[in-house]
Amino acid sequence: MAEPVSNDDADWRDDIFAALKGAEIRQVGYVPDAGHSRLIELCHADPQIRAIPLTSEEEGIGLAAGAWLGGQRAALLMQSSGVGNCINLLSLAKSCRFPLVMLVTMRGEWGEFNPWQVPMGTKTQAALELMDVLVYRVERGEEAGETAAAALDIAFNGSLATAVLLSQRLIGAKKWVK
């Protein structure tokens, strides 16, 4: 188990973590992203949560389905580029009406430095909606916790696939030259 996470840097990510705890999430699959790093640390430090690093985001769709089959709730953390990796696997969630919650940090938006992030970043929401995933966007930190809670609620109580897109402006543009 990881070391306890300091409260000194607490922010909206802690509100999302509180929403995960409130929804009794027991498995968190993730592909690392800088915007999620504090949330990943919080998940690893929690003895009730199994934080599972994935090699690619589509693994998380299967993981979440298996968790639900076994009576546990899972959530996935990924970057917008990873949404593209999930597209065919989303058919698993749709065909079986598995609950699914994807918390997605956005790239390719406001303040993006790397143009290669733009094609997937600008189509992330449309790609999810093409696969009938219910999409919520978060632009301001104070919205993050309640939006995550709303997505978790409709996913697990309504057997729906959901995604919360955390805007790049909220996360802060990546600093490439320090």
Q: Where on the chain is the footprint of other proteins (CB under 8 A)?
A: 26-27, 50, 52-56, 58-72, 74, 88-89, 91-92, 95-98
* Smallest distance, other proteins to C-beta of residue 164, A: 20
For 49, the token pair is: 């949560």
Decide whether 52 or 154 has the Cβ nearer to other proteins.
52
Decide whether 17 or 30 has the Cβ nearer to other proteins.
30
Residue 27 to residues 2, 91, 117, 142: CA-CA distances in angstroms? 15, 21, 28, 25
Residue type, 100: L
* Smallest distance, other proteins to C-beta of residue 80, A: 19
SS3 6: coil
* Smallest distance, other proteins to C-beta of residue 99, A: 10
Alpha helices in the chain (DSSP H): 12-22, 37-45, 58-69, 80-85, 90-96, 118-130, 141-158, 168-171
* Smallest distance, other proteins to C-beta of residue 75, A: 12
* Smallest distance, other proteins to C-beta of residue 88, A: 7
Decide whether 12 or 30 has the Cβ nearer to other proteins.
30
Decide whether 133 or 171 has the Cβ nearer to other proteins.
133
Decide whether 13 or 44 has the Cβ nearer to other proteins.
44
Residue 84 to residues 9, 48, 111, 157: CA-CA distances in angstroms? 31, 30, 21, 26
Work out whether the CA dihedral 51, 55, 58, 63 comes out positive or negative.
negative
